């Protein structure tokens, strides 16, 4: 009988999550920590990620580790990123820090898709970003796009 080892992951706000080692290893950052870790490598701190986000990340890893060939994996991924913008942003950051390629690709692509068909102003509104160009810089940008576009 194989006993699966479990790992405890601790988020920035102190929430702890016990997961199967195989699931935790889906994060290359955790894999590296375990491989290079000292005596106590059963509890791993993930200070860049809050409890709420870590919980979702674990859900993603579980699905991809435990059922990688399931027919509904694609629809799982599609539904997984149907979240509000804040959660999406945190998922992207978490997948980056925890080095989970599949989730990084998925969240990055979802965010990139949000640019489609949006004007500059609409993008600023969507991502809550202020225009910090000087008028001169904006003029330079306008001149750079010198191609004739028949609108």
List of residues contacting another protein (CB under 8 A): 52, 85-87, 89-90, 92-93, 96, 104, 108-109, 111-112, 115-120, 123-124, 127-133, 137-138, 141, 145-149
Residue (34 or 102) nearer to another protein, CB: 102
Give least dist CB 118 to another protein, A: 7
Give least dist CB 129 to another protein, A: 5
CB 39 within 8 A of CB 24: no
Give least dist CB 88 to another protein, A: 8
State the burial class of residue 91 (Cβ atoms within 10 Å of its Cβ: 0-12, 13-18, 19+). buried
Closest-CA residue to 48 (of 65, 27, 76, 19)? 27
Residue (67 or 123) nearer to another protein, CB: 123
In degrees and rounded to multiples of 5, residue 107 shows phi and psi of -70, -40
């Amino acid at each position: 009988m194989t006993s699966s080892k479990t790992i405890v992951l601790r988020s920035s706000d102190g929430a702890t999550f016990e997961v199967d080692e195989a699931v935790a290893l889906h994060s290359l950052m955790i894999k590296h920590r375990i491989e290079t870790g000292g005596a106590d490598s059963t509890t791993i701190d993930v200070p860049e990620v809050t409890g709420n986000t870590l919980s979702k990340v674990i859900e993603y890893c579980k699905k991809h580790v435990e059922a990688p060939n399931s027919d509904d994996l694609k629809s799982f991924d599609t539904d997984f990123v149907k979240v509000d913008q804040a959660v999406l942003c945190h998922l992207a950051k978490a997948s980056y820090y925890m080095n989970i390629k599949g989730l990084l690709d998925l969240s990055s692509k979802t965010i990139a898709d949000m640019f489609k068909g949006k004007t500059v102003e609409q993008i600023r509104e969507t991502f809550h970003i202020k225009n910090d160009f000087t008028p001169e810089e904006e003029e330079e940008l306008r001149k750079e796009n010198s191609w004739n576009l028949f609108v």
